[in-house]
Chain A
Amino acid sequence: MRIIYSAEFLFAVSILLFSGSLLISGLIVKKLLKLVLGRRTREEEHSNKSAVGGIWVLLIIGSISLILGSIVHFIKLFGFMPQLAHAEPYDILPLLLTSMKMGTIESLTVLIAGILAFTGGFIYYLLIKN
């Protein structure tokens, strides 16, 4: 299995870029929520305003999750891959397995970030739809 270090590095940096855009998106939603909820009538205020007012946090948590995913990718890239490249034949399998497990943790962080950010964005969309 050939590992392209520069491409893997590019991928980790990309995750960080997405994390930045989710962070900014969270701040935007926070600002817009103030605008939207501030304009609502008093009757509507009795509904779940406080719960909806916190949906921007979902995007921020998503952003943090992506940062964690990026850290895991960097650990995999600089910690395990060089070991894998110079491993003895009997060491390869355990290292490969650990690397795959770390890859799964990394992809789980992307999944969690995606679900949280989608949920936050979708709830806000439902709020402003009309």
Chain B
Amino acid sequence: MGLVFKFVLSSSLPPDVVMWKSISGYTTIIGALFLWLSLFFMGIIAYKYEKALKKKTNWLFIMLAPSGVLFYALIQAYSLIIVGNIKMTANQTWVSYGLFFLSGLFSLLGAWQFKKAVSPKKRRREGGR
């Protein structure tokens, strides 16, 4: 909370705006870290599944896919806490949002592959029936 007050004092914007922006920023950073951790856990679960049932799950891909969320949180934390910006710069926005998007795409792909590995394959009916 001390950092929030530091922001309020150091900025030329009205305190209300700075306070809401700071709360929003910190909540996003913590939320992104939790999101990364939860998707990383899915990678560990996939690893355990592959070891136990000897089915390929691409666990390493699932584990690494959400890394972009971590970079997004790091860039946001750097911009908000270290530099003290009220909003990320254009370059920071593009890099962090781009990584966040790629991470989302890869996480979805990884989850889909894992789901295919978990789901039993449908057998074709013999004789074309």
Interface of A is mostly: helix
Looking at the complex, which one of A2, A21, A62, A128 makes contact with B111 (CB distance below 8 Å)? A21
A10 and B101: CB pair below 8 A? yes
Looking at the complex, which one of B14, B35, B104 makes contact with A114 (CB distance below 8 Å)? B35
Given A96-B17, A97-B16, answer yes or no on A111-B101 (Cβ-Cβ < 8 Å). no
Given A28-B42, A28-B118, A110-B27, answer yes or no on A128-B48 (Cβ-Cβ < 8 Å). yes
Task: Please name all residues of chain B whose beta carbon is closer than 8 Å to the beta carbon of A128 when the two chains form the complex.
Answer: 45, 48
Given A4-B90, A24-B112, A103-B24, answer yes or no on A110-B32 (Cβ-Cβ < 8 Å). yes
Q: Is A51 an interface residue (CB 8 A)?
A: no
Looking at the complex, which one of A15, A115, A121 makes contact with B104 (CB distance below 8 Å)? A15
Looking at the complex, which one of A103, A114, A120 makes contact with B31 (CB distance below 8 Å)? A114
What's the tally of chain A residues with a CB closer than 8 Å to chain B? 49
Given A2-B90, A25-B111, answer yes or no on A97-B41 (Cβ-Cβ < 8 Å). no
Q: Looking at A15, A22, A62, which has the most chain B CB atoms within 10 Å of its CB? A: A22
Given A4-B94, A24-B108, A25-B111, answer yes or no on A17-B24 (Cβ-Cβ < 8 Å). no
A111 and B111: CB pair below 8 A? no
Interface residues on B, range: 35 or more
Q: Is B56 an interface residue (CB 8 A)?
A: no
B94 and A101: CB pair below 8 A? no
- Complex: chain A residue closest to B48, CB-CB: A128
Q: Return the CB mask of A47-66 against B: 1 if under 8 Å, else 0.
A: 00000000000010010000
Task: Please name all residues of chain B whose beta carbon is closer than 8 Å to the beta carbon of A7 when the two chains form the complex.
Answer: 93-94, 97
A41 → B minimal CB distance (Å) = 17
Q: Return the CB mask of B27-46 against A: 1 if under 8 Å, else 0.
A: 11011111101110110110
A58 → B minimal CB distance (Å) = 10
- Which residues of A are at the interface with B, using a C-beta cutoff of 8 A? 1-2, 4, 7-8, 10-11, 13-18, 20-22, 24-25, 27-29, 31-32, 59, 62, 93, 96-97, 100-101, 103-104, 106-108, 110-115, 117-118, 120-122, 124-125, 128
